[in-house]
Amino acid sequence: MKKRIVVTGLGALTPLGNSAPATWQAIRESTCGVGPITRFDTEGFATRIAAEVKGFDPRSVMDGKEARKMDLFSQYAVAASIEAMTDAGLPRGSYDPVRCGVILGVGIGGFESFEAGHRAMVEKGPGRIPPMTIPKLIANIGPGNVAIHLDLQGPCYTVTTACSSGTDAIGNAVRWIENGTLDYVLCGGVEATITPFGIGGFNVIQALSTRNDAPEKASRPFDRDRDGFVMGEGAGILVLEDRDHALARGAKIYAEYGGYGITCDANHLTAPHPEGRGGIAAIRMALADAGLRPEDIDYINAHGTSTPTNDPIETRAIKAAFGDHARRLRVSSTKSMTGHMLGAAGGIEAIISILAIRDGFYPATINLDNPDPECDLDYVPHRGVAGPIRAAMSNTFGFGGHNGILIFKKHPT
């Protein structure tokens, strides 16, 4: 029999709040985290809005000198990981470091450091590239910094599958506990790409919303007037452990891990398969891995990017995978509030799904004023609603055709 794996700690840094409880409270209140970009001068950019993390000072969790050696995405990873381990009741020194790992999803990595290093090279010559440029920007350095800070000596690596990265990191983490190698795994996703290159690069492929005059209305999944996604950033980190181990140490348990599905569309660089074939297969795989039937799922936290292509295709995939039960599901996209956090999306949306189960609360899809006729499921428009949730599914789909699906279940108290 498979080991039962549970979630015992949560940490988050998002456009809605600088902790998991603050983010969840904002979700419950249908708060929008999108606003004008403050990081750089946006003159000349088609998009001038984003969902930025607000009021974060890395010196609140680490020494200032240490923080200067890290790109912003690493700072986010360390801050959210400290919160998750503290929340799990695991202070440094209370665990065997060799039996603790960290696996994080990172879609892109240190864009800020890359751009600063390139600018220095162009303006001053190659000899003036800041010495820490490469160690700050490489994608694996996020979990590396977490491991150094918390003394986690088990497996430590990055999963990079675009917008499915956070989901796939959690799916990878489960296997290390199932095979008995680790007692705990810190897992989830992190991203910080609200930079000139990040915004400009997504602009040229017409992926981002240009609703600059009404940023709070820009992210509108499943709405017929959607015009692209809104860039978000931050981190969502979980602590996973074996259920028996958690019970033995008296840990609080948020939810139980159910199952994981992963496929590839093998279709297009950026567009999902028109019929959602990879998403359908991944949903079915996750259900089989969880030992659940479609009718056992009450809620889906959708990928729901607010792009013209994704939303109707995801709707088709849900209908195909769930059959008649699709009409009884509640489905919502919390990207309407957080923006699209790219590699961090799977991590934060897993946390939202877990807290939805715990509290019996279905988060809303805000800005769903005029539903697209092709998107005809119950997307919980405008305000969240209370109701029991036995099991929740979190969908993520990434450039390259990556599909990652997670299922979490209510844990009996």
Residue boundaries of the structural domains of the chain: 7-248, 256-409
pLDDT at position 191:
98
User: Does residue 163 have an active-site annotation?
Assistant: yes
Q: Mean pLDDT lowest for which of 2-6, 103-107, 152-156?
A: 2-6
Higher pLDDT, 269 or 90: 90
Task: State the Rg of the chain over Cα.
Answer: 20
Residue 16 to residue 34: CA distance in whole angstroms: 9
Mean pLDDT of the chain: 97
Element (H, E) at 75: helix 72-87
Indicate whether 299 pLDDT > 90: yes
* Closest CA relative to residue 271, chosen from 398, 123, 111: 398
pLDDT in tens, 55-80: 999 999 999 999 999 999 999 999 99
Residue 150 to residue 147: CA distance in whole angstroms: 5
pLDDT in tens, 305-328: 999 999 999 999 999 999 999 999
Residue 411 to residue 219: CA distance in whole angstroms: 33
Element (H, E) at 7: strand 5-13
Angle at 364 (CA atoms; ends 205, 319), nearest 5 degrees: 70
Element (H, E) at 135: helix 133-137
Indicate whether 48 pLDDT > 90: yes
Confidence of residue 113 (pLDDT cuts 50, 70, 90): very high
* Closest CA relative to residue 166, chosen from 252, 64, 236: 236
pLDDT at position 240:
98
Q: Token match 């957080």: residue?
A: 338
pLDDT at position 270:
85
Second CATH level (architecture) for the domain 256-409? 3-Layer(aba) Sandwich (3.40)
Element (H, E) at 137: helix 133-137
User: Does residue 375 have an active-site annotation?
Assistant: no
Residue 4 to residue 227: CA distance in whole angstroms: 42
Confidence of residue 152 (pLDDT cuts 50, 70, 90): very high
The CB density around residue 413, as the number of other CB atoms within 10 Å, is: 5
Residue 385 to residue 362: CA distance in whole angstroms: 5
**Region 7-248: CATH code:** 3.40.47.10
Confidence of residue 413 (pLDDT cuts 50, 70, 90): confident
* Closest CA relative to residue 167, chosen from 8, 409, 403: 403
Indicate whether 2 pLDDT > 90: no
pTM of the shown model: 0.97
pLDDT in tens, 179-224: 999 999 999 999 999 999 999 999 999 999 999 999 999 999 999 9
Residue 49 to residue 29: CA distance in whole angstroms: 22
Residue 183 to residue 155: CA distance in whole angstroms: 12
List 149, 303, 402, 411, catalytic entry = 303
Average pLDDT over residues 118-145: 96
List 32, 100, 156, 163, catalytic entry = 163
pLDDT at position 3:
92
Q: Do domains 7-248 and 256-409 have the same CATH topology?
A: yes
List 340, 375, 402, 411, catalytic entry = 340
Confidence of residue 81 (pLDDT cuts 50, 70, 90): very high
Pairing of strands 100-105, 156-159: parallel
> What is the rounded (10 degree) CA torsion for 10, 255, 311, 322?
170
User: Does residue 149 have an active-site annotation?
Assistant: no
pLDDT in tens, 355-407: 999 999 999 999 999 999 999 999 999 999 999 999 999 999 999 999 999 99
**Three-class secondary structure of residue 340 per DSSP:** strand
pLDDT at position 132:
95
Residue 27 to residue 298: CA distance in whole angstroms: 18
